[in-house]
Amino acid sequence: ILLRHSKCCSKSKTKLPPGEMGIPWIGETMQFYKAQRKNRLFEDFVQPRMMKHGKVFKTRLMGSPTIVVNGAEANRFFLSNEFKLVISAWPSSSVELMGRNSIMEKQGEQHRCIRALVSTSLSHAALDGLVPKMCNSVRLHLDRNWNGQDTVSLYRSTKMLTFTIVFECFFGIEVEPQTLSTFERVLEGVFAPPVSFPGSKFSKAKKARREIEKMLVKIVREKREEMENGSEREVEETLLSRLVGGMIQGEISEEEVVDNVVLLVFAAHDTTSFAIAMTFRMLALHSDCYALLLQEHDEIRREQRPGENLTVGDMKKMKYTWQVARESMRLFPPIFGSFRKAIVDIEYEGFTIPKGWKVLWTTYGTHYSEEYFQDPLTFNPTRFEESMPPYVYLPFGGGPRLCAGNQLAKLNILTFIHYVVTCYDWSLLYPDEQITMDPLPFPSRGMPIKIARKSP
Ligand code: HEM
């Protein structure tokens, strides 16, 4: 009785953050989804609650009691305490569709092992080797899809391109153009309710996932055979060959290889293409910035021989371009933030976050705050000339789950911008095009642009 009494007393002493839990089970999910669809999750959902309750508040989302946290200190606390106080927590539909064996579901040592395999393929040395391949992919894509056209959908085009780059340059896997639409069907179900009745978004997504799995299992087995039975020619080092190598050594299983290929393709292509699309939007709206950026690329081009690919040295010269891209990702972060789950009771800022509750950290909480950025809603790429304090600018997250592909994304963004601005004059067809979110943000009309090839 005494034990129970003392437990009861200690529970009643816990102080939850302020906030409203909404109606039973559903909580404030409908308000969350409504704001998300308009890509106004921060403005319509987070900000009004922050004004009322402060930077840390409670709510209930998708059935889970959740604490929303904002600010650099909160980002540092929760992101750097991954595996110790919190673990990443994706909705069950995402886990089922991405696969239970992907890096996002792994903790501790297992996470470290997969992360190490992926990181080797994304090390500086490996990325240097990717630059010429990426240049060839971008040029081929523009030749095939832009030449002879006067209008193209920039967002769809970059989606196709980044998808091809991840598969072909990074994994060394050739894909059919229709594979992208199968992947998109999976993505549509990632945040859908996990109900499998015929025709539901989730069951359509599961069917698409099975098709992808079948295709990848075949590719992985062929690669394994090629590596084990050693054809005379040397096997090209790609992420796929590294993962399959890990499989041959018994470090990871076939399911882990397949799930991680699926996860990486998802992690890479919608995010990078949105970042590119928003950079172009900002350039279109700020002609002074565009003039400066163009100057940077014209200088690089002047030093190249005709038809020559970019080099790593050229990438380093694109300082202003990277500032423009970073500022675009500050205003339009491809990832809103992400969910964690408390694995112990957590004391934070005088509040208790009970074990099992979700925590949502947000990029907007710092990106849109005057505390960290002067005139936060103004587009000003040169603000990145100054170094940033840690955990303030987080389009790629932070801590042990910092985006594994951030350098690949950077190369992809810079290469694409270089070839477009040096080869084409372009303008937006709908400068005020709305941004929607489902589940990631995207321009609602696909961002059509008018193009005209520049004379060589
Ligand atoms: C502009 C493009 C990109 C953005 C904005 C972005 C953003 C992010 C963010 C915010 C996270 C952390 C999620 C969390 O904390 O839960 C993350 C994780 C991750 N990203 Fe990216 N990403 C981009 C491109 C890429 C690319 C190109 C790849 C790989 C080819 C990639 C692979 C990953 C992986 C594997 C993780 C999980 C890391 C882990 O759990 O250890 N991302 N990304």
Taking the alpha carbons at both ends of the chain, their separation in whole angstroms is 86
423 has binding-site annotation? no
Exposure of 16 by Cβ count < 10 A (0-12 exposed, 13-18 middle, 19+ buried)? middle
Confidence at 34, pLDDT banded by 50, 70, 90: very high
Judged by DSSP in three states, 428 sits in strand
Token pair for 162 = 């980044």
Which pLDDT does position 445 carry in this prediction? 96
Number of helical (H) and strand (E) elements in the chain, helices listed first: 17, 12
Nearest atom (ligand 1) to Cα of 82: 15
Q: Are 27 and 59 in contact (CB under 8 A)?
A: yes
Q: pLDDT of 346-366, one tens digit each?
A: 999 999 999 999 999 999 999
Cα separations in angstroms, 59 against 23, 50, 65, 69, 333? 10, 12, 6, 11, 23
Distance CA 338, CA 350 (A): 23
User: Which are the contacts of 168, defined by CB distance < 8 A and separation ≥ 6?
Assistant: 133, 137, 174, 175
In the block, residue with structure tokens 């055979």: 225
The per-residue DSSP string of 119-165 comes to: HHHTSHHHHHHHHHHHHHHHHHHHHHHTTT-SEEEHHHHHHHHHHHI
pLDDT tops 50 at residue 9: no
Distance CA 141, CA 114 (A): 31
Q: 331: closest CA among 70, 34, 44, 43?
A: 43
Report the pLDDT averaged over residues 428-454.
94
Q: 333: closest CA among 77, 46, 123?
A: 46
Q: 242: closest CA among 382, 333, 121?
A: 121
Q: 414: closest CA among 265, 293, 266, 284?
A: 293
Which pLDDT does position 196 carry in this prediction? 81
Q: Whose Cα sits closest to atom 6 in ligand 1?
A: 396
DSSP strands (E only) in 70-218? 86-88, 151-153
Omega prior to 177 cis, within 30 of 0: no
Nearest atom (ligand 1) to Cα of 408: 27
Confidence at 285, pLDDT banded by 50, 70, 90: very high
Distance CA 408, CA 165 (A): 10
Report the pLDDT averaged over residues 318-342.
97
| pTM given for the model | 0.93
The percentage of the chain sitting over the pLDDT mark of 90, rounded to a whole number, equals 71
Q: Interface pTM (ipTM) of the complex?
A: 0.99
CB atoms within 10 A of CB 175: 18
Cα 255 to ligand 1 centre (Å)? 21
Q: pLDDT of 171-190, one tens digit each?
A: 888 888 788 889 989 988 88
Cα 302 to ligand 1 centre (Å)? 34
Cα 30 to ligand 1 centre (Å)? 27
Cα 335 to ligand 1 centre (Å)? 9
Nearest atom (ligand 1) to Cα of 412: 27
Strand partners, 338: 361
User: Which are the contacts of 5, defined by CB distance < 8 A and separation ≥ 6?
Assistant: none
Least confident of 49-53, 196-200, 331-335: 196-200
Pocket probe mutation, ligand 1, options 114, 121, 396, 403, max atoms within 8 Å of Cβ = 403
Q: How far is CA 281 from the centre of its chain?
A: 19
Report the pLDDT averaged over residues 386-398.
96
Phi, psi of 449 (to 5 degrees): -130, 150
Strand partners, 64: 61
In the block, residue with structure tokens 């995207």: 442
Phi-psi region of 386 (alpha: psi -120 to 50; beta: other; left: phi over 0): beta
Q: Which residues line ligand 1 (CB under 6 A)?
A: 88, 103-104, 115, 118, 166, 264, 267-268, 271-272, 275, 334-335, 338, 395-397, 401, 403-405, 408-409
Q: How far is CA 10 from the centre of its chain?
A: 40
